[in-house]
Structure 1
């Protein structure tokens, strides 16, 4: 354990923006809005920043390395990745949508709020993101294009474990109100990171984990930990320039063998999303529920706390893979 405890994760800057939209007429939206928001945002972002003809593929575009759209929405692998990442055609996207409500029906004047988390050097594009959300709202949401208006945006400010939400954007005035300061994950340990011998992981949104190329809800803590490590290192490698990454993390996995899953109440939850590119419905189910872990979890506390924010598994951009960690004793 002493060898493992010396493992150091790369720090990952992130910015959390909360958007508030106002419905301009009665609207009916799906309960799970992550796919809807991501698709509408991508369409608006491309219209906002792309200087090429509509049929131009980002993969072959001469300005793709300088454009906000492929950085955020396509995220191609430009250089050879480390060994366990080989085979990736695109890198993990540097953002996560977190819808804050499952409400389906909105009256005129009702508010729709959601969070957008942005990681690494993608944070530099935050003015583009705000403008794209404004355009997305005006273009309309859902298959019936219900119109909304961006009323305001706030950014999460963290100081000494205290959280505030200063205004970032004033919708009616169409004005940026602040220059946000990113928070750094995995940079320094916090007393709030401390974990007891027994903790509960509550998976709040569908979580899709593949092992041996199959989705499953049966896995060990070691298998789960590997997915968390991979999530952190992939984001750091592709989106944090100059990140100091230690690829020798096997001792972490060995130590994870000593952690028992004392209780497993995971269950599968199916939902569908409509793919505009493929013009078809796609199953995006995953598990929700709780895992109770028991053992010496101190060496994993920073990683677990970080992945509460980063999410894990497939479809994180839609808000999949969100969990929280709570001490059980």
Structure 2
């Protein structure tokens, strides 16, 4: 394996959340925005100690889980960056169910994938707790309810199930450097959701 890796290394974890619909779920064609938006709403609703207050003006802003995950800023990570980089990338990727169907029938199993980058893995319990709560709130056009049954890591190890409500560990850690070092040729990316790319501030 070569040591002249030209990019910064970082670690991440991949999880699969396995759920069962309690009621029919009605979702849009592009499900990512629905899952991500509902997660952000449920996360803030369940952990915010000062509801209604703007995050940046809150005394707990630099230590609260919500802005760290959903509204990261240089202050959150205690770093200095140019003004044009104030809106930092979110340290997670949520891959919605890949079915093309806009309806998930009652009692049907479905799943989505979650990637947590770096230290965000430490907050896995918040993601699990929030999706448990979101199942009670409901999701989609008619607020269809669902149950979170179990969570597995990238190699299929079950790290959480609804019977015990215990998280065994945070699962297998993946390294960007190790993965890229195994590539033998250029890769092709297939964007399955609408994507906007910027270069030097331009789309």
Is 1:15 paired with 2:6?
no
Name stretches of at least 5 consecutive residues in structure 2 with no aligned partner: none
Is 1:114 paired with 2:112?
yes
| Correspondence for 2:62 among 44, 58, 65 | 65
Tell whether the 8 Å contact from 2:131 to 2:148 is kept in structure 1 after alignment: yes
Give the equivalent residue in structure 1 for 2:122. 124
Structure 1 residues 171 and 31: alpha-carbon distance in aligned structure 2, compared to 1, 3 A threshold: farther
Tell me the SS of whatever aligns to 2:128. Answer: helix
Q: Aligned residues, how many?
A: 197
1:7-156 alignment runs, 5 A limit = 8-52=6-50, 54-78=51-75, 79-81=79-81, 86-101=83-98, 102-156=100-154
1:1-329 alignment runs, 5 A limit = 6=4, 8-52=6-50, 54-78=51-75, 79-81=79-81, 86-101=83-98, 102-156=100-154, 164-187=155-178, 190-191=181-182, 193-195=183-185, 200-211=188-199, 214-215=202-203
Tell me the SS of whatever aligns to 2:192. Answer: strand
Tell me the SS of whatever aligns to 1:113. Answer: strand
Structure 1 residues 26 and 143: alpha-carbon distance in aligned structure 2, compared to 1, 3 A threshold: closer
Q: Distance in 2 between matches of 1:122 and 1:22?
A: 26
Tell me the SS of whatever aligns to 1:136. Answer: helix
Q: Distance in 2 between matches of 1:132 and 1:140?
A: 12
Q: TM-score under structure 1 normalisation? A: 0.55
Q: Distance in 2 between matches of 1:106 and 1:93?
A: 28
Deviation at 1:69, TM superposition (A): 0.6
Tell whether the 8 Å contact from 2:122 to 2:170 is kept in structure 1 after alignment: no
- Cα RMSD for the two superposed structures: 2.2
Give the equivalent residue in structure 2 for 1:241. none
Tell whether the 8 Å contact from 2:31 to 2:97 is kept in structure 1 after alignment: no
Pick the structure with greater CA Rg.
Answer: 1
Once the two structures are overlaid, the 10-residue window that deviates more, 171-180 or 90-99, is 171-180
Tell whether the 8 Å contact from 2:10 to 2:176 is kept in structure 1 after alignment: yes
Deviation at 1:149, TM superposition (A): 0.9
Q: TM-score under structure 2 normalisation? A: 0.87
Deviation at 1:170, TM superposition (A): 0.3
Q: Normalized per residue, which structure has more strand?
A: 1
Deviation at 1:211, TM superposition (A): 4.5
Q: Distance in 2 between matches of 1:9 and 1:145?
A: 43
Name stretches of at least 5 consecutive residues in structure 1 with no aligned partner: 157-163, 216-329
Tell me the SS of whatever aligns to 1:22. Answer: strand
